Structure 1
Amino acid sequence: MKPSELSAGLKSSPLLARVIANNGEIQRHVSKILAGILIAMTGWTLGQVVWLTQPAKNEIVAWQAPAIVGGQSNNKQGLSLAGLQAMNLFGVYNENKAKPVVTAPVVQDAPKTRLNLVLVGAVASSNPSASLAVIANRGQQATYGLGEEIEGTRAKLKAVLVDRVIIDNEGRDETVMLEGLEYKKLGDSTSHAPASSTIAKNNPPDTDEQLAQIRQEITADPQKIFQYVRLSQVKKDEQVIGYRVSPGKNPQLFQSVGLQDGDIAVQLNGNDLTDPAAMGKIFNSISELTELNLTVERDGQQHDIYIQF
């Protein structure tokens, strides 16, 4: 087919004729579509450029403990604490059982101490906790019970006898004689009593028997105590200041408890003897007495005397 014939054929086609007639409108629509596509692509490109210029943010993800399913414990090996326990991070507890304390016997014939101590008074009793000693050291006087450390020294009071006390001076038993008495040994017949014993054992056998008889008499009739320890009222400026004590018909009890002739009793079983009515109260209740706690003044110092019967 010749070109002239093809051109004539196209021009005679109704569709082609319509397209040619609307050619301008079609071009406008196509231009709008292409422009929209171009704008969209340009916007997307600009958006990518903007995001690329922003700094990256580090996001922190919260840690979560892995879930433990109880039903799976039988199939998986659990955490063993045996090694951790074997390390004994907090130490090992050892139960220390108290060992019985063995009290060393008192050496009653102990040598005289070289310490500069003065035994002012001694109160011995069948009750160890009631045994007392008044000891002065470098002008400082104090009352001590068994086991107490003497102030200014490392020595402790170990036993109280009638005319002396035994002290434990760093493991060595030593004797402190009552003020005014010369040191002498008690003799081989003396019983070696333990630290918790009283002075009753340091007397000769005859004296012990006499004391036992006296105590039996007083136990049967407490009023008889005043036959062995006599009290005489003492006044000063018409005021009662106490009662002077003196030995009675048998001085054994008087001496054994540490009393001295001329001591002034100011208290008896908690009753103030400077009160004129106090002695009447004591006599009314004397039948009920089983012991006497006597406070006496001697050379300006007070001493506690304990008499048990």
Structure 2
Amino acid sequence: MNSRTLSVPSWQADWLPRLVVLAQDRRLSALVALLLIVLLAKALAGLTWTLLPAPAENMAGFVPPGSAPTQTRSAPARVSAASIERLHLFGEAGKAAPKVAAKVVDAPDTRLNLKLHGVLASDNAVIARAIIADGKGLEDAYAVDDKLPGNAVLKEIHADRIILEHRGRLETLRLPKDAKTLVNNRVAMNSIPGRRSAAAISASTTDTGALLRQYRDALVTDPQSVMELVRAEPVRDHSTGKLKGYRVRPGRDRQLLSRFGLRAGDVVTSINGIPMDNPLKALELMRDVTTLSQINLEVERNGTSQSFSFQID
């Protein structure tokens, strides 16, 4: 097994735990690609990226209920730039943040066949998300004012429940007691720069740090364009059909992978010891990423495993 080490300056990634964690192959592919872009670019440039101005002061690991979660969607799909844009992980450019109620509304429990699997609670409703499963067990992530199964609309997201509107009245869907919440108490969106697309970034920029800073700004304001930098798609074991990792390919930035010794077609099987064989396992990485001192990638290349280690001083 080959191993490569790159020493880079220390950094902070306070914003990463605020990413919405999704359980579907389609969306996790986008999340893995986004995570790789940020981790690799971060290690290369040694930048301090504060995409959201105020750090979270009350973070807890988000863990879906149940000790043996099962994958709810069986058909994998290729990652698309549009899918990451629809997530609006950092909010929509030019869209005012929905107001958040100062206290929880006392509404009766809903009778809709929905289950609340997890929440990302925030004072800023642009950031808040709720992971909800319908009667068939299919999960999705929803923001405030999104339409829910059963002709309901999500109105509020709190640490232990959500408030939805159904047939003109407010109802409550509660988080199971054995589930945990990722809480972000202080998030402001007022200092996000104006909309800037990765396509508008000058190709003549030679300073790596400056180029990555431009990509950083584009990541905040136009995530769709940034998704073109690196692409990822789920890879399944031929014999079992189970997910085993994500194949990465260069996108608009043809050199981003090669700067770290990665090649087109490499299959990332684990990140920092966390196997990428189950979408929900990425939750562990999101929870612990702020304390990382080293980035370790396990990659399968032409049937051979290779290790890539990026030391963070």
TM over 0.5: no
Q: TM-score normalized by structure 2? A: 0.29
Tell which has more relative contact order, 1 or 2 (C-alpha 8 A, sep 6+): 2
> Would you tell me which structure has more helix in proportion to its own residues?
1
Structure number with greater Rg is 1
Q: TM-score normalized by structure 1? A: 0.29
